[in-house]
Chain A
Amino acid sequence: MEETVQFTLNGKPTKLTVDSDRKLLWVLRTDLGLMGTKYGCGESFCGACTVLVNNEAVRSCQTIVKSVRGKEVVTIEGLAKDGALHPLQKAFMDNDALQCGYCTPGMIMNAYALLRKNPRPSPSQIVEGMEDNLCRCGAHNRIVRAIQAAAKEMQGGK
């Protein structure tokens, strides 16, 4: 049903009139023009479409727009603040934690939610938390290292 939905998108109030049963992934990519969130499998198996809703990682391919009404949505485009990369973004670069880069936005968003819940995860907690995000190029071990490095950076290097 077409209706007006309001939510916060990357820190900015957003209002759009849309069939509110549409999936957030497609609304982000078409109506809102944010192309960083990727389609990978359409059935929440791969995590390429991961975004944050109220700081929880969700699969935007399975999230209907009306469910984010009044909530805070953050996509990969909203992670860098005032041109400064988020420590996770920087750590992915420094650790070469990507190859083709297609799964990368989803990986970073999932890792962001993971670090919010557990700011000092052990490597095995990172593996567990990232398990359902798929990468075909085989950057897994470097992604784990990048998340560890970012966690350390976010703790003030301790």
Chain B
Amino acid sequence: MNHNPYIETDFTDHPIDTGLNRRDFIKVTGGGIILFFTIGDLSVLAQEGRAGGRAGGRGLPTDFNAFLKIGEDGRVACYTGKIEMGQGIVTGLAQEIADELDVPLDAVDMVMGDTDLCPFDGGTFGSLSTRSFGPALRAAGAEARQVLLELASENLKTPAERLATDNGFVFDKENRQNRVSYAQLAKGKKIERHATGKVAVKKPAEFKIMTRPVTRRDALEKVTGKAKFAGDIQFPDMVYAKILRPPAHDAKLTDVDVSEAEKVKGVQVIKEGDLIAVLHKLPDVAEMALAKIKVKYDRPQSDLDDKNIFDHLVKAAPEGRTSAKDGDLQKGESDAKTVVESTYLDGYKAHAPIEPHTAVAKIDGNKVTIWASTQTPFPAQQEVARALGVPAGDVRVMPIFVGGGFGGKTRNLQVVEAARLAKLSGKPVRVAWTRKEEFFYDSFRPAAVVKIKSGVTDKGRISFWDYHVYFAGDRGAAQFYSIPNHSTTSHGGGFGGGPSAHPFATGAWRAPGNNTNTFARESQIDIMAAKAGMDPLEFRMQNLTDEKMRRVLKAAADKFGWQPAKARSGKGQGIACGIDAGTWVATIAEVEVNKTTGNVKVNRVVCAQDMGLAVNPEAAAIQMEGCVTMGLGYALREHIRFKGKELFDLNFDTYEIPRFSWVPKIETIIIDNKDSAPQGGGEPAIITMGGALANAIYDAIGIRLFQLPLSPERIKEAAKKA
């Protein structure tokens, strides 16, 4: 593979060439009323700073792009470059468009991630779909409704002001019988409109579908086994590819003998540069043949392992960049009665979606078609075009269900492999990574170090805060407490960090960086509360002027029934709070700790968040539950062990992800704030889990752990020393 594993996955854009013009689009989609958008025109988005420039590089499209179509059958098609990977936007975005257009929810079809049909999109990550794409979609819906009113005015010979819309009809407010359906209005028409950006979206009081809880729209396919993931696309002449992999990262192939593999009936062995693959119409036969290849490798010189990595990172870190600063740290230190200096460590974590990276590539003449498990179909299109030396317009990445992403399905290595092998073999090719490949080629959440020196006065006020983060990045690093003297500095990037930093690829992992930063900050806050002899909630409230944070803390504490007590209370209760993707979140956990086994049983988690408008409160609550559950993993068990660029955790036997018995009772609270713009929902709640559990463990048994995961081994070891 020629791919640079140290790519900075900051999701910046590649030059785009979709190759599909407006005529082609209409040809593909047929007649009806089509709304084209030039996002630059959308004053509503411009005001909120959401047109372009989000998530690095290019934001929403600035050239023409179809966002939605009202078909001749009255159905509404919504086109979005976003993909569905379980987070539920297939439902939430449809709710937005249905509400703005006054059609039933089931009249909306979502067309997602198809690079031939959908507006360019940098990728589905960063909890951006609802907060960034959603407003643009709603604006398109409002505009389309306006077009329908104008058409109906002609059709019904009634002034537009007298008309209203409901349930897929435009009707005369003075005579409801005088009405026309959207289907009738669209029939036989090919109307292209360009949005003006001047039509107002609905106000919360007018919502009929948004803010109502709705169950998933894709569940029927998923419970019957009919949902097609990339691995479920079949062609009669398709072959499965199994690719030769090194035993360690950066190991160099010195000798290879494929003769035994070639003897297997029906096998084709492909060698092109460093790409050596075995192709067969059956995946298990391909795998068996791959095992017959004899190889020798030179292993890389690297003494790094999962224990010494932290010292290495601090040494390898570049000069820091200060992102927040105020007051005078020295003065703050002299005002402090107690100074606390701590170092927090966080190891590498895998994304471990249950669906491994998979792609199918099929080449017909000039046209390359790809089905892939990817969070980034448009960048995948560009990468395939580059690898094959064809125009991007000849590459179509097709929409498909994605079996979990969590930030890990963004590099598209498997997509490029499938495309190269399809070209070399002349057949449709499926590359479906094994679990071992999935772990080996993951872009891990980076190991990181946080050093904090802070102090508290005799009145329980935080007087200074000096924060240095190494390789977790800025996200969630800035503290939000009311501290007169503070400084926050990050050393090294949050995702990549450059070749000298990490021994293998790293990248975005659900709420990148923020899990590490929030674990460190909230642990330090609790240590100071204990030094000040104060209840951790009271200590936070005393040092917080941020009203939103006070509100979510109070909401969580009320629901939990928090009884003030200074740690260690023996009750095993821990708090953490933080901000991610524009959402404010507070979590309270209750644990039992077995000092002999080191086992932590989480009994209850209460999580409150303020995410502005919650379009689908059901889906938002499910994301919070998912965050809490997934967060148990990184907080308590998950970490990658390695030495000399070889990984030792390559399946679920030793890489332990949360199981049914781990999951506590989870109670979620979404603060009613529907008049504010929608914020992120897929990531925020997960950031609090490390801190809340570390604080709860301390409250239970008086043991403070400074390293994630808070594993049984670490607890036992600390208990022995205590």
Contacts and interface: CB of A to CB of B under 8 A. Distances in A.
A100 B224 contact: no
Interface in B344-369: 352-356
Contact of A127 (B87, B625, B661): B661
Nearest to B353: A136
Q: Residue among A126, A132, A138 with the most chain B CB within 10 A? A: A138
B45 interface: no
Nearest to B282: A30
A101 B218 contact: yes
B225 A134 contact: no
Interface of A: 22-23, 26, 30, 33-43, 45-46, 48, 75-77, 79-80, 85, 89-90, 92-94, 96, 98-105, 108, 126-128, 130-144
Interface in B617-676: 618, 622, 625-630, 651-653, 657-661, 663, 665-666
Given A35-B234, A41-B652, A100-B404, A138 B223 contact: no
A139 B88 CA distance: 13
Nearest to A22: B284
Contacts of A130: 660
**Counting chain A CB atoms within 10 Å of each CB, which of B352, B403, B618 scores highest?**
B403
B401 A99 contact: no
Contacts of A98: 86, 216, 219, 222-223
B104 interface: no
Most buried by B among A22, A23, A104: A104
A102 B227 CA distance: 9
B274 interface: no
Contacts, number: 166
Interface of B: 85-88, 215-216, 218-229, 231-232, 234, 281-284, 352-356, 401-404, 406, 432, 434-435, 618, 622, 625-630, 651-653, 657-661, 663, 665-666
A76, A80, A90, A99 interface centre (most CB from chain B within 10 Å):
A99
A81 B660 CA distance: 29
Contacts of B665: 141
Nearest to B88: A99
A30 B171 CA distance: 54
A104 B222 contact: yes
A77 B216 CA distance: 20
A136 B219 contact: no
Given A48-B354, A140-B629, 14 more contacts: A30-B282, A34-B225, A42-B435, A43-B435, A46-B354, A75-B225, A99-B626, A101-B86, A102-B403, A131-B659, A134-B354, A138-B630, A139-B622, A143-B660
Which of the listed residues A37, A94, A103, A128 has the most CB atoms from chain B within 10 Å of its own CB?
A103
Nearest to A105: B225
B663 A77 contact: no
B660 A127 contact: yes
B228 A35 contact: yes
Contact of B354 (A35, A36, A76, A100): A100
A83 to B, nearest CB: 10
B242 to A, nearest CB: 12
Contacts of B625: 138-139, 141-142
Nearest to B405: A100
Contacts of A134: 354, 652, 657, 659
10 contacts: A22-B282, A23-B284, A26-B282, A30-B283, A35-B234, A38-B355, A39-B231, A48-B354, A131-B659, A138-B626
